[in-house]
Amino acid sequence: MTPPTPVRAIGLSGSLRKGSHNSALLRAAVELVPPGMTLEIVSYDDVPMYNHDLVHAPGAWPESVKKLRDAIAGADALVFAAPEYNYSLPAVLKNAIDWASRPPQPPLDGKPAAIMGSSMGTSGTIRMQMHFRHIAVFTNLLLLNKPEVLVTKSAEKLDAELRLVDQPTRDLVAQQLLALAAWTRRLRGEK
Ligand SMILES: Cc1cc2nc3c(=O)[nH]c(=O)nc-3n(C[C@H](O)[C@H](O)[C@H](O)COP(=O)(O)O)c2cc1C
């Protein structure tokens, strides 16, 4: 049997804080990728707020923006892990998406992706994820539909070192990554 073709994914967290439960979720995802898939976390905290004045001459774009766009363009798939802020995406992640959505050759266009999120309360970021899906339409991000990863009461699922220790959540993350790998290969026309 031919082995599956490699899927190289990158992960973006929607939270900048050191103790972020969503960054912890993304770190767990790195450990849970299926065979044939890799996941590298990309930090983008130096990306400035979007300013259209900076995009008139592509060569003049900020280095941090070029780095983020190149990382997205070079990835086979994207994994987002984000908290819900005021029923929506954190501004830092929306800002990164705005930069990555602009021509020439918008790197988000046609990119397979999965979204996961964790909240300390009981919503599990469902409203943020529905907003994310709305944004995915215009940016033409090809978001995986299922399984959804909605982590509730996140503090109970992490240990003191912010390792994801809740087995059902680990299993769900692993299932989503497996589905993302299959989705990516399907979009490549492999199956
Ligand atoms: C500005 C702001 C808005 C928030 N809005 C929501 C919200 O709408 N729904 C929710 O469940 N939690 C909300 N929270 C709580 C965060 O989702 C929670 O603190 C989460 O764990 C933060 O993610 P992190 O641990 O990855 O930083 C909000 C927090 C902040 C700072």
Residue 54 has pLDDT above 80, yes or no: yes
Q: Dihedrals φ, ψ of 45, to 5°?
A: -70, -10
- Per residue in 115-173, pLDDT tens? 999 999 999 999 999 999 999 999 999 999 999 999 999 999 999 999 999 999 999 99
pLDDT at 60 (0 to 100): 80
Token pair in block for residue 63: 């280095």
Q: What angle do CA 65, 66, 71 make, to 5 degrees?
A: 100
**Ligand 1 pocket residue status of 101, Cβ below 6 Å:** no
Q: Which residue has the tokens 């959540």?
A: 169
**Ligand 1 pocket residue status of 27, Cβ below 6 Å:** no
The CA–CA distances, whole Å, from 171 to 31, 44, 49, 90, 125 equal: 12, 28, 36, 26, 18
Closest-lying ligand 1 atom to the alpha carbon of residue 17: 27
Closest-lying ligand 1 atom to the alpha carbon of residue 24: 26
Do 34 and 177 touch, CB atoms closer than 8 A? yes
Q: Which residue's CA lies nearest to atom 2 of ligand 1?
A: 85
The CA–CA distances, whole Å, from 136 to 1, 77, 98, 105 equal: 35, 14, 11, 16
pTM of the model as a whole: 0.97
**Ligand 1 pocket residue status of 85, Cβ below 6 Å:** yes
The band of 58, judged by pLDDT with boundaries at 50, 70 and 90, is low
Dist. CA 153 → ligand 1 center (Å): 12
